[in-house]
Copies of this chain bind each other. A is one copy, B any other.
Amino acid sequence: MDNRPIGFLDSGVGGLTVVRELMRQLPHEEIVYIGDSARAPYGPRPAEQIREYTWELVQFLVTKNVKMIVFACNTATAVAWEEVKAKLDIPVLGVILPGASSAIKASKSGKIGVLGTAMTIQSDIYREKIQALSPDTEVTSLACPKFVPLVESNNYQSSLAKKVVYETLRSLKGSVDTVVLGCTHYPLLRPIIQNVLGQDVTLIDSGAECARDISVLLNYFEINHSRTGNQPQHFFYTTASPAAFREIAENWLGKDIQVEHVTL
């Protein structure tokens, strides 16, 4: 038993898609979330800068006495997960391996698409992990640099979003049977993405897969929160505007939350 919170980090609001799934699966766990919206998107930045920012988020979470850290950000996972995991003495979970291995299980044709930020796609980490597990799988990777700004600006249900998603993804249509949403922001665009790619394409939500893994690791390391009758206390922090963060978060999570501004 360990009643300390689980720490989540993301470049902005995308990690909330992991949080929503965690709240559904493990409603008694407490959460500390830090979103670096002031410096989002991370995708186009150089790796060294992403590494530096990620360490700042990690150090912030460590000061909050978390029992586990979840990299709810594919870009940060691609650049810094292995390094951070090796250095901390608490479990550190990334979103890429859970998504990669679920995609392999889901694909019947052996043709998988991966959507991600410029950095995630440039790192080629999904292809590397998928083909290490399953060498015969074909991976088609597609950078979607316009998706995160749509979500961060709360325009993810707009007609602009439909246009951008259609133009970005039309080349992929028909060539794969499974697509990894390799950025935690993308599940907010899921209905539009599904519509463009067609109902017969399986979308893998790297964040939702990750929530299941959190549950298993809490068991393995014996650090579950006990299920008392108390309401869990969650803490959300953003490096940008708390009001903007709260608007997206409350809409996505379907509950009222408190958000504080923080300077890293």
Contacts and interface: CB of A to CB of B under 8 A. Distances in A.
Contacts of A217: 216-217, 220
Nearest to A130: B227
Nearest to A214: B216
Contacts of A1: 132
Contacts of A132: 1, 224, 226
Interface stretch (A31-39, A97-105, A153-161): A97-105
Nearest to A220: B217
Contacts of A190: none
Given A101-B215, A215-B101, A135 B220 contact: no
Contact of A93 (B220, B226, B228): B220
Nearest to A219: B97
A91 B98 CA distance: 18
Contacts of A134: 226-227
A229 B93 CA distance: 30
B224 A135 contact: no
Interface in A213-263: 213, 215-217, 219-220, 222, 224, 226-229
A226 B134 CA distance: 6
Interface of A: 1, 91, 93, 97-98, 101, 104, 132-136, 212-213, 215-217, 219-220, 222, 224, 226-229
14 contacts: A93-B220, A97-B220, A97-B222, A98-B216, A101-B224, A104-B227, A132-B224, A133-B224, A134-B227, A135-B226, A135-B227, A136-B227, A136-B229, A213-B216
